[in-house]
Amino acid sequence: MPSVTSAVPAMVGHRGARGEAPENTLAGFLLAVEAGVKAIELDVRMSADGQLIVLHDSHVDRTTWHSGKARQFTQSELGLLDARRNTPGWHSPVGIPTLAEVVENCPDWMGFQFEVKGGDDRRYQNRLAHNLRRLIDERRMHDRVVVTSSDTGFLRMMGTQAPDVMRGYVCEYRYLQPTRRTAALGCRWLIAHYSLVTPRLMERARRRGLHVSVWTVNDLNEAERLASLGVDSIITDFPTSFMAHFSRRESRQRR
C-alpha cells in the first residue's frame, strides 16, 4: 500500500463545473471560480469566422436546441444559442462563449487547461494552433496555460508553432504508454484518465519530471486514492463539493 501523503492536489473544474452548471459556459466557469478552484479545464474549437470558441463536441446538438457542426456557425451565432440543454432546471439562458470572453471573465491568476480535440483536418488545426498562440502571447498567459490534446499530430504542431507554450498529452489507455509518449512529444504534463494512475505510473512520471493531472474524478474515495499517490491535480465535474471536502481534510491535518 502506498503511504498517504499530506499534500492536497489542486482541484480543476472540468468544463467549468459540469456537474453543477451548464458545461463550457461563463456561468459554469464563474461557479468554479466561486468554489475556489485555481484552474479550469475547457475545450477549444473554432467558429466559421475563425474565432476561438469553447465547446466540447464538434456539433452543437447535445448542449443546445439546435443542430449542426460548430464550425458552420459564426461566433456571434454561437453566442446566441442557449447552451443549457443538458443541464435541466438551470435558471437562465447561457450562450457558447469565446475563449477570450472566458479569459476576460476569470481572475488574472486563474490557471487553464485548453484541450483541443482531434479529428479535424490539418489546415483547420494549424489555424487553431496559430490563434491559440496569438491569444496566449497577447495576454501573456504562458505561466498559467497548458494546451492539451490526445492528438499527437496537433501537439507536435503546437510545439513547432509555440515552443514556449506548455503542452499536455491526454491519455486514456495504458497500451499508449502514457509517460513515455508524453516525454517523446516534449510535453511536460500528462493528463491521465484516473484508471491509469498507479504507484508505478507515478514513479515513471516523476522520473521524467511530468506534472500529472487526472480526469474525470467525481468520486471522493477515488480522489483520496489519487491524492495518496501524489497526483498534482484532479479534474472534477463537482468543484464545489471537492473543494469543501479537501478544505476539511486540510483543517483536520493541521489540528
**Tens-digit pLDDT profile for residues 130-151:** 999 999 999 999 999 999 999 9
Long-range contacts formed by 14-18: CB under 8 A, 24+ apart: 14/41, 14/215, 14/216, 14/235, 14/236, 14/237, 14/239, 15/41, 15/42, 15/43, 15/56, 15/237, 16/40, 16/42, 17/237, 17/238, 17/239, 17/240, 18/237
Residue (of 232, 122, 236) closest to 188 by Cα position:
232
Bridging pattern class, strands 111-115 and 145-149: parallel
Q: What is the mean pLDDT of residues 247-254?
A: 79
Looking at the chain, the whole-number percentage of residues with pLDDT higher than 70 is 97
Are 19 and 29 in contact by the 8 Å Cβ rule? The answer is no
pLDDT beyond 90 at 203:
yes
Give the pLDDT band (50/70/90) at residue 2.
Answer: very low
Distance separating alpha carbons of residues 33 and 40, to the nearest angstrom = 9
Distance separating alpha carbons of residues 65 and 82, to the nearest angstrom = 7
Whole-structure pTM value:
0.95
pLDDT beyond 80 at 254:
no
All three cell numbers of 226? 489519487
Residue 6's pLDDT is 53
Q: What is the mean pLDDT of residues 203-213?
A: 98
Give the pLDDT band (50/70/90) at residue 255.
Answer: low
Are 191 and 168 in contact by the 8 Å Cβ rule? The answer is yes
- What's the gap between Cα 233 and its chain centre? 11
Q: Could you read off the pLDDT of 159-201 as tens digits, one per residue?
A: 999 999 999 999 999 999 999 999 999 999 999 999 999 999 9
